[in-house]
């Protein structure tokens, strides 16, 4: 893991499509990374961030919907109930907003940053954010949830993002019309 300032990887970067490795043996480096990820999430006005979004293919996520910071290692959803649809944006797919149907209520098991197992039950927005971040660990992105019509609408944007992901991220791409950035 590099020490350099983290940068958000965007659509087209292959790391976003890789399945993240489970963490075995938590180190100080992982704890540092979680803190840096949280900082980057706050700086980007996001409410969740997964390690692949900063180019690290390991099973780590941070979430804060304004009710405190969660740092999860190797998170896994063990129960799903009901459903909900929310319009989601993604820091890695700037400018794109997609209605995503997800489970309403979930139970997540994970390790905390000391390596201790714990579980969380979540519903509503918090549940949605956990599911979005855990999707990232499996290489799944919001365009994968898009309906056929939505796909047609965002296709050009995605193509542009793909071309841009090699270059520097353009500063002008702050046109994030979506309220939720994860």
* Interface residue list for Zn ion (CB under 5 A): 90, 182
Angle at the Cα of 71 from the Cα atoms of 65 and 74, rounded to 5 degrees: 120
Q: 114-124 in b/e burial notation, b at 16+ Cβ within 10 A?
A: eeeeeebebee
Residue whose Cβ sits closest to Zn ion: 90
Active-site positions read: 133
Q: CB-wise, 73 or 90, nearer to Zn ion?
A: 90
Q: CB-wise, 96 or 103, nearer to Zn ion?
A: 96
Minimum distance from CB of 91 to Zn ion (Å)?
6
Q: CB-wise, 55 or 115, nearer to Zn ion?
A: 55
- Taking Cα atoms as reference points, which of 96, 89, 92, 88 lies closest to residue 11? 92
Dig out the tokens for 178 from the structure: 């979506």
Q: CB-wise, 97 or 182, nearer to Zn ion?
A: 182
Q: What is the DSSP string of 82-97?
A: S-EEEEEE-TTSTT-E
Minimum distance from CB of 27 to Zn ion (Å)?
25
Minimum distance from CB of 99 to Zn ion (Å)?
15
Minimum distance from CB of 126 to Zn ion (Å)?
15
Q: What's the rounded Cα separation, in Å, for the pair 91 and 100?
A: 16
How crowded is residue 36: how many other Cβ atoms within 10 Å of its Cβ? Answer: 18
């Amino acid at each position: 893991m590099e020490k350099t300032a983290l940068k958000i990887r965007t659509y087209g970067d292959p790391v976003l499509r890789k399945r993240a490795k489970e963490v075995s043996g938590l180190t100080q480096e992982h704890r540092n990374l979680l803190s840096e990820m949280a900082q980057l999430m706050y700086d980007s006005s996001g409410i969740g961030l997964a390690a692949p979004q900063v180019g690290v293919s390991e099973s780590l996520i941070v979430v804060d919907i304004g009710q405190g910071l969660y740092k999860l290692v190797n998170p896994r959803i063990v129960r799903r109930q009901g459903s909900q649809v929310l319009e989601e944006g993604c820091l890695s797919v700037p400018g794109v907003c997609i209605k995503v149907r997800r489970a309403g209520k979930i139970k997540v098991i994970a390790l905390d940053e000391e390596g201790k197992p714990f579980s969380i039950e979540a519903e509503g927005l918090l549940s949605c954010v956990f599911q979005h971040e855990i999707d990232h660990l499996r290489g799944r992105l919001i365009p994968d949830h898009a309906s056929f019509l939505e796909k047609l609408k965002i296709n050009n944007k995605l193509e542009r993002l793909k071309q841009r992901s090699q270059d520097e991220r353009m500063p002008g791409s702050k046109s994030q019309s979506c309220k939720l950035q994860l």
